Structure 1
């Protein structure tokens, strides 16, 4: 079978590999879609400290069961499934308290385990142990199901930050995850949602898809002032920084209203992880700042339900579909910002 395997930064190879077999507690699937994201770009360019090469990458995975290993029940050939990306241990104190997104023993598909840029792959026993192999609801395509993983991450962030009825929300970053944040905020009852992006082309493309109440190009106007003008100087209830930008995080503190909430959704580059934050603004205006780290198995299940119900459509966000042979082109397309979501169909 064909796979895309990471060897070193700048060295991802398409190559032939033996078809894997399901061991005890495992399930083998035929990968139907594995979508790409900015993390794949970072891995390709810089590697990742959790990846021990060579490794088949790809972590937004949907497919169909081929066989179940010894000791596995409830799964049969032909079952349509989505696979979690982040795998909590399920046993540590944090997991036992229901905080699976911050499990200190977390592993991931495409990092410690072979990922989805392959024709076939094995779902590890650890995924099944935490109920992380999910049935795809009827009417949901494999391509849509593969996008449930990033939507699950957005769901984790918005639940944690309490996005809800009547809120005014700013999403900073008009990539695929920013688009999902706009739609999810609406589904959760937000009254108004604004989208901020530096790249005019990307902003227009995404705004035409998800129709925010205002689309603000930060390269052309003062985004903070625009948000304040739109809210009559009050600021917004929630700011979600869906971009790897320290300035976006700093600007969030200037956009948010009193008693507002900020979600630092996008992590910062490892070589520049700090920002300047006026602690007195947080103190006197009673601002709450939340982190957001991936998703739990339950978030993935509920993301699939949101897609199936139509509450958060994702099909139209998939702007490019490519075969596995074009995986490097797909990764570069993601990096260029000319697509919303790119999916691989092995």
Structure 2
């Protein structure tokens, strides 16, 4: 079979490999790409011991039964104190598909037993395509983020970042009853492409603080979600958020530049809440599939490119250059 393996930064090879063995093997039908794949390609990752088959947004058919399934990316241990308390997204023993285990950029993939043990293999609902099911993993992360920041009915929400995660945040905020949803990005071309698909109430580019304040009558939004790996976005979020508003630092910052300048008095006097968001739990993946199947969060139109495994590097490049919303690989 063919696989796409990471060997070193800048070195991903599509090559032959023996078909995997195990109690549960799937024929991969779709494995979508994300910005993390680009970061791994460029810089590697401390959890990856090459050679490693990449890909973590996975959907396929169980070999032998044909059952259509979606597979979680982040694998909690299920037994540590955080997992026992239901905090699986912050499991200190967490492992990941495509990092610790071979992932979905392959024709076939073995599912580790520990994935099954934490209910990490979900049946794909009828009417949901494999490509749509592969988007359940990033949607699960978005769902976790919006639960933590308590997006709800009547909220004005600003999503900073017009990539696939930003688009999913816009759609989910609508589904959760937000009154208005605004989108911000410094890339005008990507912002226009995203806005055409997800139809935010307004879009703003560059330093958007004054523009957002004007759009909200000077009050500011109830929720700001920084779906971009940019310290400037986090700093702007603090400056624009309404009194008693909530901020999600959803996008992590580069490890060599993780510091921002924070006006602590704005947090103090406005009674702001700032929360992080890190991945998703198996339950979030199951709920994400339900949201897709019900039509509450459509995702099919966000898949702008479908490529064969041989063109996985083209897909990663499209993501890196912001010229696509969602790229899916079809091995």
Q: TM-score, normalised by structure 1?
A: 0.95
| Counterpart mapping for 1:49-68 below 5 A | 49-67=46-64
Consecutive unaligned residues in structure 2, runs of 5 or more? none
The alpha-carbon deviation at position 280 of structure 1 amounts to 1.2
Q: Over residues 212-243 of structure 1, what are the superposed CA-to-partner deviations in whole Å (9 max), with x where a residue is unaligned? A: 0001111xxx4100000001110000000000
Consecutive unaligned residues in structure 1, runs of 5 or more? 68-76
Secondary structure of the equivalent of 2:31?
strand
Name which of structure 1's ranges 316-325 and 274-283 shifts more when overlaid on structure 2: 274-283
| Counterpart mapping for 1:234-273 below 5 A | 234-273=219-258
Q: In the alignment, what sits opposite 1:38? A: 35
Q: In the alignment, what sits opposite 1:345? A: 330
The alpha-carbon deviation at position 278 of structure 1 amounts to 1.1
Secondary structure of the equivalent of 2:237?
helix
* RMSD (Å), alpha carbons: 0.5
Are 2:95 and 1:98 equivalent residues in the alignment?
no
The alpha-carbon deviation at position 295 of structure 1 amounts to 0.2
Deviation above 3 Å: which 4+ runs of structure 1? Answer: none
**Structure 2: how far apart are the matches of 1:106 and 1:21?**
23
Q: Over residues 34-65 of structure 1, what are the superposed CA-to-partner deviations in whole Å (9 max), with x where a residue is unaligned? A: 00000000000000011011100000000000
The alpha-carbon deviation at position 21 of structure 1 amounts to 1.1
Q: In the alignment, what sits opposite 2:19? A: 19
Secondary structure of the equivalent of 2:328?
strand
The alpha-carbon deviation at position 201 of structure 1 amounts to 0.4
The alpha-carbon deviation at position 142 of structure 1 amounts to 0.1
Matched residues, number: 331
Secondary structure of the equivalent of 1:236?
coil
Are 2:170 and 1:173 equivalent residues in the alignment?
no
| Counterpart mapping for 1:1-346 below 5 A | 1-22=1-22, 26-67=23-64, 77-218=65-206, 222-346=207-331
**Structure 1: how far apart are the matches of 2:176 and 2:45?**
34
